[in-house]
Structure 1
Amino acid sequence: MERRTFLRATVAGAGAVAFSGGLWQNAALAAPAQNAAGPYGPLQAADANGIQLPAGFTSRVVARSRQTVPGTSYTWHDAPDGGACFADGTGWIYVSNSEVGGGAGGASALRFDSGGNVTSAYRLLGGTNTNCAGGATPWNTWLSCEEVSNGQVWETYPFGGTAVARPAMGRFTHEAAAADPVRKVIYMTEDKSDGRFYRFVPSTWGDLSSGTLQVLVAGSATSGSFSWANVPDPDGSPTATRYQVPGAKVFNGGEGCYYADDTVWFTTKGDNRVWQLDLAGGTYELAYDDNLVNPGPAPLTGVDNVTGSSFGDLYVAEDGGNMEICVITPDDTISVFLRINGQSGSEITGPAFNPAGDRLYFSSQRGTSGSSSGGITYCVTGPFRT
């Protein structure tokens, strides 16, 4: 199969977005990934938070649903989901969606100082529905995506400002988004069993109020070439966007999405796959497939949110499975990075690194209770590869 090379770069400047890629080392990636020992060694016994981590890593709770965030007067939202980090002077901001329906969804933010201490917490968006994942932009906004049939992308402002709906980005069951500053587009997944993979081409980069919605067109194979076709009617009515373009490739339950250095990765939960698109070469293939791990067993099931580290590792969270975050390395191996015990009724959401790359934030959406009111947001600190 095609092999990928990644360029390692350095995040610099207060405006840098930790999720945004451009951080990849020179290494070959031949898909799909196979089992191997993890880069940090085996998991240790569970800590006081019920989390198993490699030696040298520690976890702490930073927020709990329906409880006041320590050090603030803000009550953390239910069902924390997709998240991202933004550099903020010497500190950073972590944003998190709330996957609650009935107009009770939205997004919130935690602001941290240089020592990783919470200094404030606040609302970014309210009154929306089932805000699942999303993505950060290079201009420091957070795209919060509604996972409902006529869902919208809401552009929110972690540094201040009123959230705005972006209907030009399409009305469909939105899941995640990833910005590509080279091609000046936003990639988007659709959480349907017969979903599609989209990109939005803004009329002006940095302004998402108008532009063209396109869908990926390709064959039914797991690798090959692809192209893009315009979606005639982005508002999805009366015909859903995924049915408007003949030849649009079907993806089984689109979830997380991540861009770095001419490659975009996205996950599909219906078949436990991680896909990768070589955007410069116009080809696609599998980065991971649980049916192609040999020898097994496959470590990653229930694939969901995905993020990347400055070293070039992909971190993929599980919705179900063994409540794990797994790591896919640039040399195409996969292993378990962490496991949460005693929370089988939950899912892991919102993985994101702080700008320095030494802290990983994520949530257990329903925690130990198994309900949306039991969400827990964590931070893991340790010697991550940078």
Structure 2
Amino acid sequence: MTNTLNRRGFLGAVAGAAGATGALAMPGTLAATLLSLSACGGPRQTLGAGLTPDPNGICDLPKGFSYKIISQAGEVMSDGLEVPGYHDGMGAFKGPNGETILVRNHETPLFFPKDPPSPVPDMAYDPASSGGTTTIWLDDALNVIKHHLSLTGTIRNCAGGITPWGTWVSCEEAGGSGWEMGKRHGYAFEVNPLDPLKKIEPIKAMGRFNHEAIAVDGNGTVYETEDDMNGCFYRYIPRVGGRLAEGGTLQALKFTDGRLHTTDEPMQPGQPYACEWVTIDEPDPEDNTLRREAQSKGAAIFVRGEGIVTAPDGLYFTCTQGGAAGIGQVFKYIPGDSADAGGQVMLVFEATTPGALEKPDNIVISPWGDLIICEDCDLTSQRLVGLTPEGKLYHIAATDISEWAGACFSPDGKTLFANIQKDPGRTLAIRGPWESLRG
């Protein structure tokens, strides 16, 4: 996510992927695949190759695919409120009667010194702020059953991630002026997709910084990326598993060889680097200084950490402007044998050629095992790109309206949901013969 007002947050999680057929196929070869792409600078492909132009000018798709607009900014929801704009990170959940439930972030821009006020101030964390989340319930035919505000009073809700216990963690990327608000911002908030709108307090122990995305490992540890040119990579160990709000320990990653910068000090692709974790003493600082405390203890800088996804062989995360060319890196973190162990970090991709596989942003593993990449590139058309275990790239969608955000799959794996962030914000459901793209 860029540090500008029209940012994308591509969700780093897939609903239902853990139990989907073939879900474990991709990670076993993912690192090798990315390394091969890095070595050659990435395969060059024509922008939007294989896509059929949309006569409506909204979403180009492969042959045989279709989209449906589920929700658009300005429409009236079931609760009588208008759908906010700036659609961003999103997660999909299975409802109690088989419904698909989407929880969607809204990265509402900050108009300093005051954000537009919350439409429901009594339920707002900060009544002066209008960011938050909306929840959409869908039936099998993708008809909206109900649609309502589910978090309000936050700022620039960017990405986040789903948890194994069925909640959505919505993250504030407060930006520069977000630190000037009267009430503190820059936190993570946990939203239950089954709940109506309620007042939700921030999880301050998870840290106050420019949050981007989160992913949870099998032990319940939460990993967090920081969208900052001098950001760090964090983990949060809850005191009680699955209960983030009950407190825990926040730590930042440190290399044992003394390496302080993952771009300025080049890393050899494919080589594992040992790491450990340093504990943050003040997770809720007065100013945007959390990374400075981490770095004073030796924590390494990751340049604009963004998407993150949990895989059976570790966690993969992106740095959108990392690398010598400043056009993107993908790292793999391999946890140690216990919560106290340090683990290893491996650089598995570094973009070197503009226009190839450039500026990987948020990433997700599809239910059939492919990696889905959101490129935060400077090209006119924004794309969703798939990557097979064999190293084949394919284009899923393209638009020239605005950036893509919030890509996630339905629990049954048949539908890809994604947001066109603005002008106006739209949530699309994409369906088609997915197997034909991998051919």
When normalised by structure 1's length, the TM-score is 0.84
1:90 positional shift: 1.5
Corresponding residue SS for 1:28? helix
Matched, 1:212 2:249: yes
- Structure 2 partner of 1:132: 158
Match for 2:169 among 115, 124, 143?
Answer: 143
Q: What is the rounded CA distance, in whole Å, between the counterparts of 2:277 and 2:141 in structure 1?
A: 44
Structure 1 residue identity aligned to 2:157: N
1:37 positional shift: 8.0
| Higher relative helix content | 2
RMSD: 2.7
Corresponding residue SS for 2:239? strand
1:19 positional shift: 6.0
- Structure 1 partner of 2:11: none
Matched, 1:44 2:52: yes
Q: What is the rounded CA distance, in whole Å, between the counterparts of 1:279 and 1:329 in structure 2?
A: 24
Corresponding residue SS for 2:291? helix
Matched, 1:264 2:315: yes
User: For residues 84-123 of structure 1, what are the structure 2 equivalents within 5 Å?
Assistant: 84-88=91-95, 89-100=97-108, 101=110, 102=115, 103-123=129-149
1:78 positional shift: 1.1
Instruction: Map Cα deviations across residues 87-131 of structure 1 (whole Å, 9 max, x no partner).
Output: 113221111101113211000011111232211101110011111
- In our comparison, the structure showing a higher alpha carbon Rg is 2
Matched, 1:236 2:294: no
Q: Does the C-alpha gap of structure 1 residues 59 and 49 become closer, same or farther in structure 2, counting only changes over 3 Å?
A: farther
- Structure 2 partner of 1:55: 63
Q: Does the C-alpha gap of structure 1 residues 382 and 280 become closer, same or farther in structure 2, counting only changes over 3 Å?
A: farther
Structure 1 residue identity aligned to 2:235: R
1:297 positional shift: 4.0
User: For residues 163-242 of structure 1, what are the structure 2 equivalents within 5 Å?
Assistant: 163-180=200-217, 182-209=218-245, 210-218=247-255, 219=259, 220=262, 221-222=266-267, 223=271, 224-237=273-286, 240-242=289-291
1:85 positional shift: 0.3
1:208 positional shift: 0.7
1:353 positional shift: 0.4
1:280 positional shift: 5.1
Match for 1:66 among 64, 69, 74?
Answer: 74
| Higher relative strand content | 1
- Structure 2 partner of 1:28: 29
- Structure 2 partner of 1:311: 368
Corresponding residue SS for 1:62? strand
Q: What is the rounded CA distance, in whole Å, between the counterparts of 1:193 and 1:201 in structure 2?
A: 25
1:225 positional shift: 2.5
- Conservation of the 8 A alpha-carbon contact between 2:45 and 2:356: no
Q: What is the rounded CA distance, in whole Å, between the counterparts of 2:374 and 2:73 in structure 1?
A: 20
Q: What is the rounded CA distance, in whole Å, between the counterparts of 2:158 and 2:291 in structure 1?
A: 19
Question: Structure 1: where are the runs of 5+ without partners?
Answer: 1-15, 368-373
- Conservation of the 8 A alpha-carbon contact between 1:213 and 1:231: yes
The percent identity for this pair of structures is: 30
Q: What is the rounded CA distance, in whole Å, between the counterparts of 2:225 and 2:17 in structure 1?
A: 17
Corresponding residue SS for 1:325? strand
- Conservation of the 8 A alpha-carbon contact between 1:318 and 1:347: no
Instruction: Map Cα deviations across residues 275-326 of structure 1 (whole Å, 9 max, x no partner).
Output: 22223583323343221x6xx741433x322222112212122335331111
Matched, 1:378 2:428: yes
User: Mean Cα displacement is larger for which, 221-230 or 79-88?
Assistant: 221-230
- Structure 2 partner of 1:350: 406
Structure 2 residue identity aligned to 1:279: P
Structure 1 residue identity aligned to 2:248: G
Corresponding residue SS for 1:331? coil
Q: Aligned residues, how many? A: 355
- Structure 1 partner of 2:416: 360
1:80 positional shift: 0.7
- Structure 2 partner of 1:18: 16
Between 1 and 2, higher relative CO (CA 8 Å, sep ≥ 6) is seen in: 2
Q: What is the rounded CA distance, in whole Å, between the counterparts of 1:165 and 1:240 in structure 2?
A: 18
Q: What is the rounded CA distance, in whole Å, between the counterparts of 1:168 and 1:35 in structure 2?
A: 42
Q: What is the rounded CA distance, in whole Å, between the counterparts of 1:339 and 1:327 in structure 2?
A: 12
- Conservation of the 8 A alpha-carbon contact between 2:15 and 2:408: no
- Conservation of the 8 A alpha-carbon contact between 2:358 and 2:376: no
